[in-house]
Structure formats: C-alpha cells, structure tokens
Amino acid sequence: MMKTDESSGIEKIFTYVDPGNRNFQKEMEIVFTDYLKKIGAYLPPYHLREVEQSPTTFPVEASVVIPVRNRKETIGEAVKSALSQETDFPFNIIAVDNHSTDGTTTVLSDLASQYVKLKHVVPKKTDHGDLGIGGCWNEALRHEACGRFVIQLDSDDLYSSSRTLQKMVNMLRQGNYAMVIGSYTLVNLRLEEIPPGLINHREWTDENGHNNALRINGLGAPRAFNTRLMRNIGFLNVSYGEDYAAALRICREYRIGRIYESLYLCRRWSGNTDAALSIEEANRNDAFKDKIRTAEIFARQRLAESIAHRA
C-alpha cells in the first residue's frame, strides 16, 4: 500500500476501488479475464480449494506479526493495539525488530518485559545484509512461539477495535481459508479519517477475484494467513510487493475470505517508507510488481493446462 500525505495523490492511487468507478472497473475486469482465457492463464472458480486440516500443534491459536525497523514514534501504539485485542483463544505478538537504530529496540524491550504476550525477535545478521519485510515475516513464521494463524499489523498502523483479531480468526476457521483479508480506513497521524476513507476492495468476487487479482495493484489489509501453509510457501525477502506476491500465489490454488467492514487504521504520515517516492522509485516498484505478475501468469498457464488434462 503506497503511503503519501497528499490527499489528491492518495485518491488517484485508489481509483480502482472507488465505488464511482465500479462500472468502468467491471468492464476492465471483463476485458482482462477474456485476455487470461486467450493466453491460457484463466483459472475456473471450481478449482479453488480449502486448506486441509492439520494435526500440527501450535503454542497459541494466533500470532500478530509486526515487522519493524526504526519506528520508535509509532511501534508502541501498534503493539498496544494488538495487546488490547479481546479473543476467546490464546494469542501472542511477534515483533520482528530488523536491527533498528533509532530507539525502537529499547521501546520493544521495555514492552516485552511488561507483557508476556509480546515476543521481541531480533534476526541474526547474515552475510547478505538485513532482511526485507518478507524476510521478517519468514522469521516470525519459523519462530517457536508462532501460532496456528498469523495476522498482519504494520508498525505504524492500528487495529480499529478490540475485536479485529477475533473476527479475522473466526473467518479463517469457518471457511478453512488459506488467507483472509479485511478492510481498512485511511487516517492521518491524529487518527482523523482522510480521503478516500474506507478501502474495502469490493471489486473482489468469489467467482473471479483470484483472476482479477492479477490486474489490480493490491488486495487490501489487514491480512491473515494459515501458518502451516505459509511456512511452505514463504514470503519473498523484499520490502515491497511481498504481500502481493504471497496473495497471488495463494489465490492461484486456494480460497480467500474477505471482510468488508473496517478492521484496521492505516496511518499516512511523513515517516512512511514510501511517503515521498521519486518517479524512478515508483517506476521501479511498478516494474517489480509486473515481474511478479509475469511469473504468476506462467505458473497459472501450467496449472490451467493440468486442470484441462484432468477434466
């Protein structure tokens, strides 16, 4: 999710989820789906499956995962947002501190000494340098404290209520989904709503969302995953597009659940990593997502051919 303080810029980014553009976007979806069929990358909805139940035991039912680097201004509020969750199951918080240098580490250490639910994880340094956000997710997934489900919380964002975690886990359980995606509201640092407000991705449909996902630039937040499945799939060790790549991989094969009410406050402020991207940086990000899409299309072409042979 690109972040900027300029409301006009934000609105342009989210034109494809603007209800006023729904008819145009539906037309674009029809054209794109027809294109996928022509190139042999279309996947029928009946192909999608639920996650198989596993006897694997986990220390808790759910883990809130917070990758963080140099966010001393916001990390405390994010952690307390997770700690405030009211659930009928045990959960913990795994904050993967990617070698912060601004005081974030001290904030997390102090909080971890007060709250047993908070696991403060500092990855080992490697010869390849620090981890990206995706690498931090992989660290959390492999951690001994990781729960049956993992739920995303960015280090500068907040859950919108004390029931967010319960609602996400309920849907994961009830639908045997590989992934559940909620909806979020854009706010400023004072938690005041800013345009375009609620982002709920209602362009998603159970019948064609998995195909249309290749056309759009993101699937939404907060995101929750089945841990056992994600340990097998893994995240790309990058700090942009890792969530999009994981979602495309999942919906190639598995059903994704959606929650259309706001569960999450996405804060836009000058400290966001992508608050002031240059044209070159934005183009580089777009090119990377195109690379992800291209690889995914090739994988779906192979899968579609296999499905056709089984029919």
Query: Taking the domains of the chain in order of start, what are their residue ranges?
Result: 7-310
User: Is the separation of the CB atoms in 210 and 44 below 8 Å?
Assistant: no
Tell me what percent of the residues of the chain surpass a pLDDT of 70: 90
Single-letter amino acid code for the residue at 230: M
User: Is the separation of the CB atoms in 224 and 149 below 8 Å?
Assistant: yes
Which pLDDT value is given to residue 172? 97
- Strand ranges, E, within the chain: 62-68, 91-97, 118-121, 149-152, 158-159, 179-187, 193-199, 223-226, 256-267
Single-letter amino acid code for the residue at 134: G
Confidence check: pLDDT of 291 > 50:
yes
Confidence check: pLDDT of 39 > 60:
yes
Average pLDDT of the segment spanning 280-288: 93
Cis amide leading into 59 (omega within 30): no
Q: DSSP letters of 92-147?
A: EEEEEE----SSHHHHHHHHHHH-TTEEEE-PPP-TT-S--HHHHHHHHHHSTT--
CA dist 100 and 106 (Å) reads: 9
Residue carrying the six token digits 């989904």: 177
Confidence check: pLDDT of 147 > 80:
yes
Confidence check: pLDDT of 126 > 90:
no
What are the angstrom distances between the C-alpha of 157 and each of 140, 185, 191, 204, 255? Answer: 18, 10, 10, 24, 27
CA dist 307 and 6 (Å) reads: 46
CA dist 228 and 13 (Å) reads: 33
User: Is the separation of the CB atoms in 165 and 87 below 8 Å?
Assistant: yes
Which pLDDT value is given to residue 107? 98
CA dist 277 and 285 (Å) reads: 10
Pairing outcome for strands 256-267 and 179-187? parallel
Own/partner pairs, 4-9, CB within 8 angstroms, 24+ separation: 4/268, 4/272, 4/274, 4/275, 4/276, 5/188, 5/268, 5/269, 5/270, 5/275, 7/194, 7/195
Average pLDDT of the segment spanning 134-144: 97
Confidence check: pLDDT of 15 > 70:
no
Which pLDDT value is given to residue 3? 41
Which pLDDT value is given to residue 53? 83
Name the CATH architecture for the domain at 7-310: Alpha-Beta Complex (3.90)
pTM of this prediction? 0.91
pLDDT in tens, 60-87: 999 999 999 999 999 999 999 999 999 9
CA dist 29 and 306 (Å) reads: 24
Rounded to the nearest integer, the mean pLDDT of the chain is: 91
> Which range is least confidently modeled, 73-82, 192-201, 265-274?
265-274
Which pLDDT value is given to residue 125? 74
